[in-house]
Every structure is written in C-alpha cells, then in structure tokens.
C-alpha cells in the first residue's frame, strides 16, 4: 500500500518538476522498493529484537519459560552480590581489553611485515590466516593437549630447558590469560587481513617521497603508516572488542569457566544459569552483558568514526 502511494506521489512530483515527462514515467527512486526490507525486518524483529526486549522484562522475574513471577531487581542484586557471578563481570572486561589490544598491536606489525618486501610472503599470509578457519572447539581441544601441565609439549620443552612449568589452564591465576592467548593466536589473522588492506590502500608516493626526504623505516612507520591506517585500526578495535566481550566457545571448551570460577565470563555465566534452570538470572546476565557492550561500544564507535572523518 504505502509503496504504491509513494510511487504515485513521486510520479506527481515528477510531473510537476518535469512538465515534458510522460505520465507513465516513474522516478528512479521508486525502483528501489521498500518491500525489499520486509523479509529482513521480519527475521530481525522476531528472532533478535523481541528476545532482546523480552530479556529486560524476564530479567526482573523468576522464570521457568512457561510462567514468570515478577521479583524486581533481585536477579541483579544476586548477580552483583554473589562473588562467583560478580568476578565474571571483571573477567569479561579484562578478557575483552587484552584480546582486542593484542590483536591490534600484533595484527598491525604482522601486516607491516606481510606488505613489505619479505621472502615467503604468500606462505606467511596463508599460515597466519589459517587458524581463523579452524573450529574454535578444535583449537580448544588442541591447546588443552599442548598445554597439559604434565604431558603437554609446551611444558616438556620448558622442562628440557629447566624452566618453571606452569599449569596453563589449571592455575587459577593464569587460566584466563592462557585462554586470552589462545584467542589471540586464533583471531589475529583477521586483524592482520584488515590492516593489510588499510596499508595497501595508502598511496605509494607517500612512502617514496618520505624516503627521498631521508626518513628512516621507523619514522615512515610512525609518521605515515600508523596515522594513515586509522580507519583499519578503528575497524579492528571495534570488531575484536565486540567478539572479545561476548566470547564463550573457547572458554567453555578449555576450562568451562574454571578452575572454580576464575575464568568465568558473563557469557559462560549465562549458560551455566540456563543449564541450572535459573532462566531469570540467565536473562539478567544477558542484560548485564548488553549494558557492558553498549556502554563500551557506543562511545568508542562514535570517537573512532569521528577521528576517521577528520583524517
């Protein structure tokens, strides 16, 4: 209905502005029908928007999927008073910042290396990207074996050199950092790819001019490559932070949030509470995660995009 109306309206405008146009002619705009949005909107509303809005209501209830009792903010009080749940909040922030920061730095230097003159470039590009394709569960199982405290290969090498052999996934102080390291190993290929695209897009004349003016490799990097790949940096920060803050798979398969609760993040708490049948508390976890992600991402996206425009 509305599309035909606007089409008719456009026609009318068209006729007024272009007196010579025939009556049958439609403006080009009506060739981009709004109806193309309809299936997308239906899926988005039913499977994404409604659950997201519903999570706010159900987080305030004791809920069994079939009926729910309104209990106010009790679930949130529980979440922030129970140290086992509260630490997951801290771990989520820690995990997101560490993985995102490391992916930016390592990804950038790998991209500089892989866009420069270097032997075996094709092989290196392929091998850095390969872990991105492997299933997270597979990577988790692989590292659980490699980093096994007693039989694992890494500790065997450390033992050979007489170095201390930490319990990578079993030491409560270390587990979350080990998982973060595995996450970085698996995900740095995407960051590298995006940075490579950003660096390749910088006009070559800039580098040549700088070299003629006598700038060294370090100065070129600092004065040209870094400032001119700001767009790519923004993309990498945003994408890796979104992924890091909601990370679940790799944590669940390697430690399951343990030992104890020392590597639990909000996403794993949501699953544990769901498994235990505390659906209201699980929904509250979702709301907390939603707030964490929004409070961090919205200002960050705004600032990063503004910088990009200024460039």
Partner 1 sequence: MTRVRVRAWTVGIIAIIVSIVVFLVPFMFVVLQASKDPADASSLAFSWPKHWQFIANLRAVLQTNEGIIWRAFLNSAILTVTSVTITVILAAMAGYVLARRKTKWNGVVNFFVLAGLIVPPAVVPTIWVLQRLRLFGTLQGMILIEATFGLSFSILLFRAFVGTIPRELDEAAVIDGAGPFSLFFRVVLPLLRPVVVTVAVVQAVFVFNDFAGPLYFLPGNEHATVQLTLFTFQSQNLSFYNLLFMDILLITIPPLIAYIFSNRQIVAGLTSGAIKG
Instruction: Please count the residues of the chain.
Output: 311
- Spatial CB neighbours of 92, under 8 Å, sequence gap ≥ 6: 245, 265, 266, 267, 289, 292
| Secondary structure E strands in the chain | 61-63, 68-70
- Residue 176 or 270: which CB sits closer to partner 1? 270
Buried b (16+ CB within 10 A) or exposed e, 180-193: bbbbbebbbbbbbb
- Residue 118 or 173: which CB sits closer to partner 1? 118
- Residue 146 or 220: which CB sits closer to partner 1? 146
| Cβ 173 to partner 1 shortest distance, Å | 23
| Cβ 82 to partner 1 shortest distance, Å | 18
- Residue 87 or 235: which CB sits closer to partner 1? 235
| Cβ 84 to partner 1 shortest distance, Å | 19
| Cβ 88 to partner 1 shortest distance, Å | 14
Element (H or E) spanning 64, and its range? none
CA atoms within 13 A on the CB side of 143: 26
- Residue 45 or 173: which CB sits closer to partner 1? 45
Alpha helices in 37-174 (DSSP H): 38-44, 50-58, 74-81, 83-115, 121-133, 136-146, 153-160
Q: Angle 227-229-235 (CA atoms, 0-180°, nearest 5)? A: 125
| Cβ 45 to partner 1 shortest distance, Å | 10
Give SS3 for 45: helix
Evaluate whether 192 touches 111 at the Cβ level (below 8 Å). Answer: yes
Give SS3 for 266: helix
| Cβ 111 to partner 1 shortest distance, Å | 12
- Residue 19 or 39: which CB sits closer to partner 1? 39
| Cβ 162 to partner 1 shortest distance, Å | 19
Pick from 281, 108, 257: nearest CA to 175: 257
| Cβ 221 to partner 1 shortest distance, Å | 14
Going by the DSSP 8-state scheme, the letter that residue 111 receives in this structure is: H
Pick from 11, 4, 9: nearest CA to 26: 11
- Residue 128 or 176: which CB sits closer to partner 1? 128
- Residue 175 or 245: which CB sits closer to partner 1? 245
Evaluate whether 91 touches 179 at the Cβ level (below 8 Å). Answer: no
């Amino acid at each position: 209905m509305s599309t035909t109306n606007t089409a008719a309206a456009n026609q009318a405008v068209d006729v007024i502005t272009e007196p010579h146009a025939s009556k049958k002619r439609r403006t080009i705009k009506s060739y981009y029908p709004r109806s193309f949005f309809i299936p997308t909107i239906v899926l988005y509303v039913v499977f994404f928007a409604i659950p997201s809005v519903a999570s706010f209501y159900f987080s305030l209830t004791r809920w069994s999927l079939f009926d729910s009792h309104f209990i106010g903010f009790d679930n949130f009080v529980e979440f922030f008073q129970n140290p086992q749940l509260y630490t997951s909040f801290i771990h989520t922030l820690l995990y997101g910042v560490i993985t995102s920061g490391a992916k930016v730095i390592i990804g950038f230097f790998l991209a500089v290396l892989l866009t420069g003159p270097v032997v075996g470039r094709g092989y290196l590009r392929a091998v850095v990207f390969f872990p991105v394709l492997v299933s997270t569960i597979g990577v988790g199982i692989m590292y659980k074996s490699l980093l096994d405290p007693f039989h694992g290969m890494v500790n065997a090498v450390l033992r050979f050199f007489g170095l201390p052999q930490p319990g990578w996934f079993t030491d409560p102080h270390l587990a979350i950092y080990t998982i973060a390291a595995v996450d970085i190993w698996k995900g740095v290929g995407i960051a590298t790819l995006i940075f490579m695209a950003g660096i390749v897009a910088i006009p070559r004349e800039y580098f040549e001019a700088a070299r003629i003016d006598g700038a060294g490799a370090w100065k070129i990097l600092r004065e040209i490559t870094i400032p001119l790949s700001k767009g790519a940096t923004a993309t990498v920060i945003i994408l890796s932070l979104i992924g890091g803050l909601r990370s679940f798979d790799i944590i669940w398969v390697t430690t399951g949030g343990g030992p104890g609760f020392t590597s639990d993040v909000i996403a794993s708490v949501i699953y544990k509470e769901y498994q235990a049948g505390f659906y209201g508390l699980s929904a509250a976890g979702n709301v907390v995660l939603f707030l964490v992600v929004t409070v961090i991402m919205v200002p960050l996206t705004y600032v990063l995009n503004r910088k990009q425009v200024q460039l």
